[in-house]
């Protein structure tokens, strides 16, 4: 079975190559059918491997196995979390492709295969990253998925905003990737190994961490946190997500950002967890501080948006902060919770983006104020959008709710408040949009005179992704979010799923020695209900009395940070690297 | 051997990376910014090659060197650097294509004048 692991990458790569070759001569329907078939086939393979991932599958590509403890080969690791991420990626990709059938007219009209080919390449990169057991290979897959993501974000090259967002995305992420590579080089210099588990072993053999290990840690984490969009590395994300085509947004927010968190978890667990890595207290401090900051800023900025895609992008940032807090506990319970949370969040967030795409194609705008009351006829979409918002808040029995309650329990103490508030504020913002756009509740937001120069991005400059605005909503565009929401619901409601996740995490981190049990608790359900009620309350107040919760002048400096200027974002990246170094510095001073 | 020659390549790598990042942060022209990103990447080449360097060693090509007769530099980092070059070429090409589109759609390549996405 383990020999099939490389196929997770090879199948979508070959599919992409095929589509790129024949894309010019085949009709669009054929190209998209091939794209869907290949990505769904990969998904089936990922699920089959996942069911067989106990004990974890380890494949040395080409049979280059380690000799006397030293390796020159490339290792692929198919354990529960890795294959789980690959399966999540591979299940979301066909959903995005199916959504794009009717919603999205890819611009190069001559080449029907280019968009599905790029999506398949994206899938290959993400699957490769998920199962990489070799640090340098993880970098290569990181770059592959990044480069394809830049191209997909700027796919509509005719649009001014799209190319600007893609350029910002590309510069910041590439710089992060180079930091990651420098960190890998430093770790290789110390250990002479590239496979993650071997690096960890050699570091432990060398002795307590010194400045070089700290530098390697900081640089590697910088690269991964840029991908995970942790504050202050997050600035590229709203700009990229606001302009990317909707099917691409579903993949970016649903799984790519989460892969950054997964990378952090993987590196912490296999490379830096031993006595030669960083002490747990320092890692915990770094992740807790960055995670709490990310959740707070993401939630606050989410509340202030009127561009719906941007609002959802900030909610992704807030949730990334919650994921980082969860893995920052460095406990198995925290990992279990985050794994479930990521699965639930992927379904909910992709469904919300899909619903927003319907608004864009139907009305040619994604601006909350402009769309006020205009989407009243779209009852089905309204139900889906509201259900997505409730899932985001963590209403039981969504998978997000179960994941959140398990993580809250692992984090414990005052940080529980961060979970409740961040999920309530982001879900409240989405519910506010639902109430205004789909129900037309509350007064119509007035544009103050001279408001054109306000420091914000409106959603009215967006072009529909179809050639002409849709007169009615195609079935695929509503079926896809419905299926995704059902998946998110099943992740929390199907008995046994949570236990399977817990078993897989335990096997990957402790070789199955420590067993955890994951289940609904009264406290968790109560906190989920509190978040949901809080979200509904916030949305109600915002709709009925818009002045009360409007962004105060005090918030302007925070908004000004998101300047759209790529130079500022690079400067923030360097600041973030420094902060990370300072937070982890005690590891070396005391050691 | 003193310590300085051994540390020097690492200091150069750090300096090159920071110089590129400074250029990116203060750039007034997107083509210049893409160049600065390549400078940052050049730092990774320097670092990788410095990691694999050995005093008195030769290139790891065994067509005319009997294996085991004399030291060679680490071939792994050279393979990594080569992969890195390929990645860099892709990124630079894509970025320059995006800059061309930015110039067409916005009529400028000055990042200070791109004000559509903010807040």
3-state secondary structure A218-263: HHHHHHHHHHHCCCCCCCHHHHHHHHCCHHHHHHHHHHHHHHHHHH
- Helix, strand, or coil here: A474? coil
In a domain, B105, yes or no: yes
Of residues B25, B77, B116, nearest to A567 (C-beta): B25
Cα A145 to Cα A248: distance, rounded to the nearest angstrom: 12
Does the pLDDT value for residue A227 go beyond 80?
yes
B17 contacts A567? CB cut-off 8 A: no
Cα A290 to Cα A293: distance, rounded to the nearest angstrom: 5
B90 contacts A147? CB cut-off 8 A: yes
Does the pLDDT value for residue A43 go beyond 80?
yes
Q: A219: closest CA among A188, A196, A185, A252? A: A185
A171 contacts B94? CB cut-off 8 A: no
Distance to chain B for A182, nearest Cα, Å: 6
Q: Write out the residues of chain B at the interface with chain A, using a CB-CB cutoff of 8 A.
A: 13, 17, 21, 24-27, 30, 33-34, 37, 40-41, 43-44, 47-48, 51, 76-77, 80, 83-84, 87, 90-91, 94-95, 98-99, 101-102, 105-106, 111-112, 114-119
Distance to chain B for A565, nearest Cα, Å: 6
B40 contacts A175? CB cut-off 8 A: yes
The pLDDT of A172-187, averaged and rounded, is 96
In a domain, B56, yes or no: yes
Residue carrying the six token digits 């205009």: A374
Distance to chain B for A211, nearest Cα, Å: 14
pLDDT at A416: 93
Q: A187: closest CA among A207, A202, A168? A: A202
A42-51, A463-472, A548-557, range with greatest mean pLDDT: A42-51
A171 contacts B24? CB cut-off 8 A: yes
The pLDDT of A568-587, averaged and rounded, is 93
The pLDDT of B98-111, averaged and rounded, is 91
Distance to chain B for A64, nearest Cα, Å: 14
My answer on whether omega of the bond before A55 falls inside 30° of 0, hence cis, is yes
**Left if phi > 0, otherwise alpha if psi is -120 to 50, otherwise beta: which for A450?**
left
- Long-range residue pairs from A553-561, CB within 8 A, at least 24 positions apart, any chain: A555/A300, A555/A304, A556/A455, A558/A297, A558/A300, A558/A301, A559/A301, A559/A304, A559/A455, A559/A456, A559/B118, A559/B119, A560/A455, A560/B118, A560/B119, A561/A235
Cα A505 to Cα A510: distance, rounded to the nearest angstrom: 8
Beta bridge partners, A75, equal A60
Distance to chain B for A28, nearest Cα, Å: 25
Say what the alpha-carbon torsion angle B6, B10, B11, B16 is, to the nearest 10 degrees. 140
DSSP conformation class of A77: E
Cβ under 8 Å to B: A residues 483-542: none
- Helix, strand, or coil here: A78? strand
Question: When comparing pLDDT for A455 and A377, which is higher?
Answer: A377
Distance to chain B for A463, nearest Cα, Å: 14
Per-residue pLDDT tens for B41-66?
999 999 999 999 888 888 888 888 88
B25 contacts A239? CB cut-off 8 A: no
The pLDDT of A7-16, averaged and rounded, is 95
Does the pLDDT value for residue A467 go beyond 80?
no
The pLDDT of A254-279, averaged and rounded, is 93
Cα A344 to Cα A404: distance, rounded to the nearest angstrom: 10
Cα A167 to Cα A191: distance, rounded to the nearest angstrom: 36
Domain ranges, residue B56: 4-113
Structure tokens given for A278: 């960083």
The pLDDT mean for chain A works out to 90
Of residues A151, A157, A160, nearest to B116 (C-beta): A160
Domain positions in chain A are 1-131, 158-278+554-591, 305-444+461-550
A574 contacts B119? CB cut-off 8 A: no
Secondary structure of B56-98 in HEC code, one letter for each residue: CCECCCCCCCCCCCCCECCHHHHHHHHHHHHHHHHHHHHHHHH
Task: Please report the ipTM that was assigned to this predicted complex.
Answer: 0.95
B106 contacts A188? CB cut-off 8 A: no
In a domain, B118, yes or no: no
For B103, the closest chain A residue by CA position comes to A160
- Helix, strand, or coil here: A70? strand
% of chain A surpassing 90 pLDDT: 66
**Cα Dmax for chain B:** 64
Distance to chain B for A556, nearest Cα, Å: 8
pLDDT at A107: 57
Does the pLDDT value for residue A161 go beyond 60?
yes
Question: When comparing pLDDT for A474 and A103, which is higher?
Answer: A474
pLDDT at A89: 96
Of residues A163, A171, A563, nearest to B37 (C-beta): A171
In a domain, B119, yes or no: no
pLDDT at B5: 67
pLDDT at A196: 93
The 10 Å Cβ neighbour count of residue B57 is 13
The 10 Å Cβ neighbour count of residue A548 is 8
Q: A449 pLDDT band (50/70/90 cuts)?
A: very low
B24 contacts A570? CB cut-off 8 A: yes
Does the pLDDT value for residue A404 go beyond 60?
yes
Enumerate the residues of chain B whose CB falls inside 8 A of the CB of residue A140. 83, 87
CA distances in angstroms from B50 to A15, A80, B55, B87, listed in the order given: 39, 37, 11, 20
The 10 Å Cβ neighbour count of residue A470 is 18
Enumerate the residues of chain B whose CB falls inside 8 A of the CB of residue A170. 91, 94-95, 98
B47 contacts A182? CB cut-off 8 A: yes
Q: A76: closest CA among A99, A52, A54, A60? A: A60
Does the pLDDT value for residue B6 go beyond 90?
no
In a domain, B85, yes or no: yes
Structure tokens given for A92: 């979301």
pLDDT at A203: 93
B47 contacts A185? CB cut-off 8 A: yes
Per-residue pLDDT tens for A486-539?
999 999 998 889 989 998 888 888 887 888 888 889 999 999 999 999 999 999
Side-chain-side CA neighbours of residue A118 (13 Å): 21
Question: When comparing pLDDT for A107 and A310, which is higher?
Answer: A310
CATH of the domain at B44: 1.10.287.3510
Q: A143: closest CA among B90, B39, B81? A: B90
pLDDT at A553: 77
Per-residue pLDDT tens for B65-82?
888 888 889 989 999 999
Contacts of residue A295, defined as CB under 8 A and 6 or more positions apart, other chains included, come to A318, A319, A321, A322, A325, A418, A419, A422
The pLDDT of A317-324, averaged and rounded, is 96
CA distances in angstroms from A346 to A251, A258, A259, A396, A452, listed in the order given: 9, 9, 11, 16, 35
Distance to chain A for B77, nearest Cα, Å: 8
In a domain, B81, yes or no: yes
Of residues B76, B111, B116, nearest to A566 (C-beta): B111
The pLDDT of A416-444, averaged and rounded, is 93
Enumerate the residues of chain B whose CB falls inside 8 A of the CB of residue A72. 76
For B99, the closest chain A residue by CA position comes to A167
pLDDT at A591: 54
B94 contacts A150? CB cut-off 8 A: yes
B106 contacts A164? CB cut-off 8 A: yes
DSSP conformation class of A62: G
Does the pLDDT value for residue A112 go beyond 90?
no
Q: A454 pLDDT band (50/70/90 cuts)?
A: low
What total of structural domains would you count in chain B?
Answer: 1
Q: A–B: how many Cβ contacts below 8 A? A: 138
Cα A112 to Cα A566: distance, rounded to the nearest angstrom: 33
Contacts of residue A526, defined as CB under 8 A and 6 or more positions apart, other chains included, come to none
B26 contacts A170? CB cut-off 8 A: no
Does the pLDDT value for residue A450 go beyond 60?
no
């Amino acid at each position: 079975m383990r020999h099939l692991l490389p196929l997770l990458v090879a199948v979508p790569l070959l599919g992409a190559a095929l589509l790129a070759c024949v894309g010019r001569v085949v009709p669009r329907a054929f190209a998209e059918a091939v794209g869907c078939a290949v990505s769904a086939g990969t998904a089936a393979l990922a699920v089959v491997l996942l069911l067989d991932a106990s004990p974890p599958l380890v494949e040395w590509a080409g049979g280059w196995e380690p000799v006397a403890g030293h390796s020159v080969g490339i290792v692929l690791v198919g354990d529960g979390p890795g294959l789980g991420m690959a399966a999540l990626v591979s299940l979301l990709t066909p959903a995005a492709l199916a959504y794009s059938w009717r919603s999205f007219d890819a611009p190069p009209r001559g080449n029907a295969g280019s968009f599905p080919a790029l999506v398949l390449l994206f899938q290959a990169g993400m699957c490769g990253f998920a199962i990489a057991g070799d640090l340098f290979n993880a970098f290569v897959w990181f770059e592959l998925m990044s480069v394809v993501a830049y191209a997909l974000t700027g796919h509509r090259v005719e649009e001014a905003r799209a190319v600007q967002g893609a350029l910002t995305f590309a510069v910041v992420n590439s710089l992060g990737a180079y930091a990651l590579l420098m960190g890998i080089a430093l770790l290789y210099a110390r250990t002479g190994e590239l496979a993650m588990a071997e690096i960890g072993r050699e570091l432990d053999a060398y002795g307590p961490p010194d400045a070089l290990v700290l530098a390697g840690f900081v640089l590697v984490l910088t690269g991964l946190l840029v991908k995970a969009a942790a504050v202050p590395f997050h600035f590229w994300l709203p700009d990229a997500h606001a302009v990317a085509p909707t099917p691409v947004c579903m993949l970016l927010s649903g799984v790519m950002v989460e892969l950054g968190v997964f990378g952090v978890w993987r590196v912490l667990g296999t490379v830096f967890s031993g006595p030669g890595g960083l002490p747990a207290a320092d890692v915990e401090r770094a992740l807790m501080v960055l995670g709490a900051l990310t959740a707070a800023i993401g939630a606050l900025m989410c509340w202030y948006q009127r561009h719906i895609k941007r609002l959802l992008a900030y909610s992704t940032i807030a949730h990334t902060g919650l994921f980082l807090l969860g893995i920052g506990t460095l406990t198995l319970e925290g990992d279990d919770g985050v794994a479930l949370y990521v699965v639930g969040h992927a379904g909910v967030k992709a469904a919300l983006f899909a619903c927003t795409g319907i608004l864009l194609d139907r009305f040619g705008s994604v601006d909350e104020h402009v769309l006020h009351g205009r989407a009243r006829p779209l009852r089905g979409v309204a139900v889906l959008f509201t259900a997505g918002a409730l899932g985001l808040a963590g209403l039981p029995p969504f998978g997000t709710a179960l994941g959140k309650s398990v993580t809250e329990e692992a984090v414990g103490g005052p940080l529980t408040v961060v979970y409740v508030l961040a999920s309530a504020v982001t879900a409240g913002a989405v519910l506010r949009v639902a109430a205004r756009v789909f129900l037309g509740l509350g007064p119509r937001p007035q544009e103050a005179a001279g408001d054109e120069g306000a420091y914000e991005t409106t959603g009215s400059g967006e072009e529909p992704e179809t050639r002409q605005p849709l007169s009615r909503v195609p079935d695929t565009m509503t079926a896809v979010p419905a299926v995704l929401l059902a998946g998110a619901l099943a992740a929390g409601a199907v008995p046994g799923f949570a236990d399977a996740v817990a078993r897989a995490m335990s096997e990957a981190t402790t070789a199955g020695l420590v067993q955890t049990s994951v289940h609904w608790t009264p406290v968790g359900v109560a906190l989920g209900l509190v978040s949901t009620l809080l979200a509904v309350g916030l949305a109600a107040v915002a709709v009925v009395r818009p002045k009360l919760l409007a962004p105060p002048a005090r918030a302007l400096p925070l908004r000004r940070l998101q300047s759209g200027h790529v130079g500022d974002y690079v400067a923030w990246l360097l600041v973030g690297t420094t902060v990370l170094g300072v937070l982890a510095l005690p590891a070396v001073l005391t050691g | 051997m003193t310590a300085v020659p051994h540390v020097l390549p690492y200091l150069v790598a750090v300096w090159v990376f920071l110089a590129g990042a400074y250029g990116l942060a203060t750039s007034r022209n997107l083509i210049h910014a893409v160049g600065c990103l390549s400078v940052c990447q050049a730092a990774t080449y320097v670092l990788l090659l410095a990691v694999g360097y050995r005093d008195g060693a030769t290139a790891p090509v065994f067509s005319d060197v009997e294996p085991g007769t004399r030291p060679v530099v680490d071939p792994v980092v050279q393979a990594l650097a080569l992969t890195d070059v390929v990645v860099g070429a892709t990124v630079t090409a894509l970025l320059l294509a995006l800059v061309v589109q930015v110039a067409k759609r916005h009529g400028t390549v000055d990042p200070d004048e791109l004000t559509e996405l903010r807040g």
